[in-house]
Structure 1
């Protein structure tokens, strides 16, 4: 097996583990105050969905592989490895500075920058379109959450809230597997040259994600469930239903968006129903600033690294 394939497969595995650490806790955080779904049950559900949903649809993975840039040419795998490592470096740096951010934004920036730096064909209009959807997802999630929270306050009892929590969590896991979660599969696609979704690779991605989620749940979950708003079970249920709906809508047109961004926007939308005082705006602003830094920082870092790497090769 060529060296560039081996390296990119290893990088793809690392990326799946880090995705579990970064995304898994965020996906489970909204329901931590409702005992309807235990954390390990939630992780198992995520693993199952990540293994099965791409068998039905993997359009978002194809968007990352084929529509942002073309990675099939000479050096494509090396450029992809640079993109992924740059994305991980930016996310690690921002997280260490207390500014959790989106791996999806980082990967889009990394792939775009590495493609440009290596001289690969890059579709800048499509990059702009993906970015537009990414920016819209948390806004749409917040607006939907405001409406959903209002309805739940009026019509849902405590028992009903538990039932809606199960529905919302299921919707959220399906949406993640149909969209944000496919960024992991996309890296394996580039590494190994397939364009479908072989079960052995969807299962591998799902297992690696699950291992990362078990490790990262406490920290990632605390960030969303405690820092953004003075959290109540109602807010978590509304965020699950709203973020899941917004992300599924983007999946239908093959647009990769960040579930963590959608959840954060939905938590803010749920929090303002009874006045903005429940929202911790300083934390929300801190996260938004991290989002704004993530894509350009990943893009510049990967472009410079790819340009240097191409010159060395």
Structure 2
């Protein structure tokens, strides 16, 4: 295995762990006020879905690898390595400043910037389309949750809400595995030079994702459960269902979106449906600002690092 492949494999593992920290906790946090899905069982279900679902459908992983740019070309591994580093740096800096953000936006920006800087063909139209879907997903999740929470309050009992939570959690896990979670698979596909999903790679990504989730759950629970809105169980269930529908719809056309963003949009929509006072708008504004900064920051850093590395090693396609 070449040196660039070895480096990217190591980064792919780290990226999967960080995905668990950033995404996994958020997926579990929405239902923490209901005892229906225990965190350990929920985490195991997520790991299983992340390992299995991409074997059935992996259109989103293909988008990361081929539609944004041609990362199977010579130099693709180096560009992907730079993109992952850029994404991790941007997310790390924003998180350290108390502004949790989207790892999906960060890697999309990193791929666009690193590919451009390294001289790979990058599709501006595809990047713009992914960004448009990324912005639309939390809005759609919010609108759906605005409707759903009213229905849940009107027609469900406490026992009935638990049943909705079970269904919503499983649908949410499937949606993540079919969409947002496939950014991990895309990095493994480039690292090992394979054009398709394979059980060994999806399983490795899933296990590392689970380890990150264990670490990230408490922080995500604070951010989504208390800082964003004064959450009640109905809000979490409505957010799960609405975010899942939005993410699955985007996955059907191969468009990656952030489940964390979609869930946040769902929570805000559910909160507004009952009272605008439930939403902590200052915290919401900070998160939205971080989202807006993430993709351009990832692109700029990826572009600069690619030019620097290319100049140092005297490589890259012409």
TM-score band w.r.t. shorter chain: over 0.9
Greater mean deviation of Cα atoms: 264-273 or 75-84: 75-84
In the alignment, the residues of structure 2 paired with residue 220 and residue 85 of structure 1 have an alpha-carbon distance, to the nearest angstrom, of 23
* Residue aligning to 1:171: 171
In the TM superposition, what whole-angstrom CA distance separates every residue of 1:29-71 from its partner, at most 9, and x where no partner exists? 0000100011011100000000110110000000000000111
- Partners of 2:61 and 2:186 within 8 A in 1: yes
Aligned: 1:58 with 2:58: yes
**Count of residues in correspondence between the two structures:** 313
Q: Which residue of 2 aligns with 1:81?
A: 81
1:251-266 map, 5 Å: 251-266=251-266
Match of 1:133 in 2: 133
Which segment drifts farther, 19-28 or 214-223?
A: 214-223
Residue of structure 2 in register with 1:8 after alignment: 8
2:64–2:186: 8 Å Cα contact kept in structure 1?
A: yes
Alpha-carbon distance in structure 2 between the residues aligned to 1:142 and 1:282? 18
Q: What are the residue-to-residue correspondences of 1:169-248 with 2, within 5 Å?
A: 169-248=169-248
Q: Following the alignment from structure 1 to structure 2, what is the Cα–Cα distance between the partners of residues 9 and 46? A: 22
1:269 aligns with 2:260: no
Q: Distance in 2 between matches of 1:5 and 1:311?
A: 20
Runs of 4+ in structure 1 displaced over 3 angstroms? none
For 1:172 and 1:271, how far apart are their aligned partners in 2?
Answer: 19
Aligned to 1:279: 279
SS at match of 2:231: coil
Which structure 1 segments of 5+ residues have no match? none
The whole-number CA distance in structure 1 between the counterparts of 2:195 and 2:120 is: 19
Distance in structure 1 (CA, Å) of the matches to 2:68 and 2:51:
24
How many Å apart are 1:73 and its aligned residue?
2.4
1:225, distance to aligned residue in structure 2 (A): 1.1
Runs of 5+ unmatched residues, structure 2: 314-318
Per the alignment, residue 96 of structure 2 pairs with: 96
Query: What TM-score do the two structures reach when normalised by structure 1?
Result: 0.99
Task: Measure, in 2, the Cα distance between the counterparts of 1:194 and 1:151.
Answer: 46
Structure 2 counterpart of 1:156: 156
Asked if 1 retains the 8 angstrom alpha-carbon contact of 2:65 and 2:72, the reply is no
- Distance in 1 (CA, whole Å) between partners of 2:19 and 2:302 is 19
In 2, the alpha carbon distance for the partners of 1:169 and 1:275 equals 25
Q: Residue 72 of structure 1: CA displacement? A: 2.1
* In structure 1, distance between residues paired with 2:278 and 2:215: 30
Aligned to 1:109: 109
Q: Paired residue for 1:290?
A: 290
Q: Distance in 2 between matches of 1:310 and 1:76?
A: 12
How far 1:275 sits from its partner (Å)? 1.8
1:288 positional shift: 0.3
Q: TM-score, normalised by structure 2?
A: 0.98
Are 2:59 and 2:251, in contact at CA under 8 Å, matched by a contact in 1?
Answer: yes
- Take 1:166 and 1:71, find their aligned partners in 2: how far apart are those partners? 39
Q: Which residue of 1 is the match for residue 47 of structure 2? A: 47
Aligned-residue Cα RMSD (Å) equals 0.6
Stretch moving more, 214-223 or 157-166: 214-223
Match of 1:145 in 2: 145
Q: Give the Å deviation of 1:74.
A: 2.4
